[in-house]
Amino acid sequence: MTAPQFPFGQSVIWQPTDTYLQHSRLKRFMDRHSISTFDDLMARSTSDIAWFWEAVFEDLGVEFYAPYTQVVDLSRGIQWPEWCAGAKLNSVHNCLDKWIGTPTEQRIAIRWEGEEGTVRNLTYGETYHAVNQVAAALLAQGLGKGDVMGLYMPMTPEVVIALLAIAKIGGIILPLFSGFGAGAIASRLADADAKALFVADGQYRRGKPLAMKSIADEALAEVETVQTVIVYPRIGLDLALVPDRDIWWDDFVAGQPTDVPTEHTAAEDPIMLIYTSGTTGRPKGAVHTHCGFPIKAAQDMAHGFDIQPDDTMYWMSDMGWMMGPWEVFGTLVLGASMLLYDGAPDYPDVDRVWALVARHRVTALGVAPTFVRAMMAHGDEPVQRHDITSLRILGSTGEAWNPAPWLWFFETVGRGEAPIINYSGGTEISGGIVMGNVLLPLKPCAFSGPAPGMAIDVVDDNGQSVRGEVGELVIRQPWIGMTRGFWNDPQRYLDAYWSRFPDVWVHGDFAAVDEDGLYYILGRSDDTIKVAGKRVGPAEVESVLVSHAAVTEAAAIGVPDDVKGQSIVAFVVLRADVVPDAALQADLIQWVAETIGKPLAPKAVYRVRDIPKTRNAKVMRRVIRAAYLGEPPGNLAALVNPDAVDEIRALRD
C-alpha cells in the first residue's frame, strides 16, 4: 500500500474552547466516571463493553419495563451478541412516553417546513397523541407485533408519526427512499413479507408535483402480502383508492384514542429493517432492535454531536436512508428537537438551507461534502444573506472530504468557530465508527478518533495494525448498534463482514491514521484503484481535481488497462464560467500528476453536467464505472439524478 498523500500534513485548525468544554455531554459523562482523558475513555469503553454500555443507558436515561440479566451475552460468538438479555424495552417509551408529564411534553419535538413554504411545529405531547392514534388504528386493522410495515413518504411529520406508531405496537419499520421506483419498492416489501404500507399521494421537487401513490400501486401489484395502505395527502392529488386496501390518513385515525398502551417488547425484538444495496445481488435487509439502533443513535448524538435538550438538529436526509431514522430516534431519546425539510435544498434559490437554519434557529446542521462542494461554487454571499449564528455544531457524512470544501464549510458556514463533526459508519452500524467530538482538536477532513465504544483499527492485507499508511477499517469488539444480521440471510451477513479475518468486522472502508492519531476515511476499499501495483483511493484523486480553480465536483474510477492492470478515469463538473476545451483537460491531468505523482495521473478527464449520486449526496462510483464501461449498472433506484448515468454512458459511444 502506498503512503497516503491526502490529506496528511494538515495542521490543527480548531481547538475546543471553554464554552464547548463546559457545555459538553461527553465531558460530564467522563467526569461522572472519573475518566480524565479521551484515550482512557476509549481504552475502558472497548475493553469492558458491558460497563460502557450500561453507563450509556444511565447517561441517556434509558428506561426498561423489565431489567436485563446481562448487558451482553457473547455465548453465540462475537458475530451474534445478545444485548440487554432478558429485558423488556420499547424505544417509543424512551422517545415519547417517558416525557409525558414532564416539562419536555411542551417542548417542540418536530419542526417542519415544506418546499412550498408551509411550516408546522409539533410538541412532544402532540406527537405522543398523534402516534397513539395511528397505533390504535393499526391495531384495529389486525396489525401488531412482528408485522413489517413500509414507509414510502417524503419528510413530513406524518412519516415520523407512522414510524413511531409501528414501533409502539411492536411492529417492524421498513423505511423506503421517497425517490424509489416501483421495482425497488416491490423487491423490499416482498423480501420482508410486509403487511402494510404508509404512502403519500406525492411530493414537491423544485415546485413540481411528483406522484408517489401511483408508483406504490405499481409496486404493490407484485406484492401480495400488503393488505393495508394508508395514504397521506401531501400535495392534494385527486386519487382513486383501491377498495378494501387503501384508506386516507384522516379517515384511518378518525375516532381513535389518543392514549394507547405501548407494547412491552423484548429488548432484542426487531424494530426496523433498513435495506442496503451492494454492487451485485438483491438488497440486504439489515435487522435492528429496540435496544440497538435507537440507543447507538442517541449515544453518538450525545457524545459526538453534543446534542442537548435545547438543541434543534437538521440532518439533510431521507427517511429511507439510515440518517433519517437516526435523527428521529436520537433527538427524541435526548429530548431535543428535529427539523425536517421536504423539498429541494437549492429551491427556489441556492440559499434555501441557510434560510432554514436561520428561520428555525438550527443549532446542529448535518450535510454531505458533495452538497458543500455544490454550494461553495455560489460563493459566500448566499450564506451571508442569513443570520445562521445559532449554529454551534456542523456535521458531515456520506463521502470523503477534500480540504478546500471542508475549509469553506468551516470558515463561511461555521464562522471558524463551530467544529465540523465528521461522521462515518453505516446502516449496519446504526451510526458511527469514527467521528469527531467537542473535546478533541480538529484537522481539515479528519475524524478526531473512534466513536466511544467502537474498538476500531486500520490493518494491512494480513490483518496487522498499520499507521501512516492506507489500510482496511476494522472493528474488534461488538457494539450495541451492530445489525443483528440480514433478514432471512444470516450467511450473507457473515460473508459480508466476518469472513476475511477471524472474529474481526471488516467494514469495507479505505482508512488511515496520521501521526497525531486522527483518522481519515478515503473511500470504499472496494473502490480502490490499483495502477501498476500502486493503490490509490478515488477520494485522493478527486481531492486534487476539486482543488483546481475550474472544478466544483469530481468522481474517479479505475478501468481495465492491458499494461497497468487499471488506469484512472475522472469525471468533473466545472464552474459555470469555465469554458471546457482540450487544454483544460490536459491541465487537469497534469494537475493530478504534479500533486500525487505521474504514475497516478488520469488516463482521461471528462466534463459532465452532473455526477450520479443519491439524494443524500453519496457519489455512486460503481454506477459510474458500469456506465462508462458499458456494463449493466445494477440497481439505480437510489439515484436522485439518473440522467447523469446516460451522459456518462454516451461518452463511450
pLDDT, one tens digit per residue, over 377-395 is: 899 999 999 999 999 999 9
Enumerate residue ranges in the chain where pLDDT < 70. 1-9, 277-282, 526, 528, 532-535, 615-616, 635, 653
Which pLDDT value is given to residue 535?
A: 61
Which pLDDT value is given to residue 121?
A: 98
Residue 606, strand partner residues: 571
Type of residue at 200: A
Which pLDDT value is given to residue 524?
A: 72
pLDDT in tens, 619-631: 888 889 889 998 8
Q: Do 100-253 and 18-97+287-523 fall under one CATH topology?
A: yes
100-253: CATH architecture: 3-Layer(aba) Sandwich (3.40)
pLDDT in tens, 417-471: 999 999 999 999 999 999 999 999 999 999 999 999 999 999 998 999 999 888 9
Which pLDDT value is given to residue 279?
A: 37
User: Given the C-alpha cell 458475530, which residue does it identify?
Assistant: 79
Type of residue at 146: G
Type of residue at 136: A
The grid coordinates of residue 68 equal 436485563
Is residue 476 within 8 Å of 58, Cβ to Cβ?
no
Is residue 216 within 8 Å of 200, Cβ to Cβ?
no
Could you tell me whether strands 284-289 and 270-276 are parallel, antiparallel, or unpaired per DSSP bridges?
antiparallel
Residue 509: phi, psi to the nearest 5?
-110, 145
CATH topology of domain 18-97+287-523: Rossmann fold (3.40.50)
Give which of 568, 516, 553, 528 is closest to 8, Cα–Cα.
516
Annotated domain spans of the chain: 18-97+287-523, 100-253
pTM of the model: 0.86
Strands (E), 277-323: 284-289, 312-315
Instruction: Pick left, alpha or beta for residue 117 (phi over 0 → left; psi -120 to 50 → alpha; otherwise beta).
Output: left
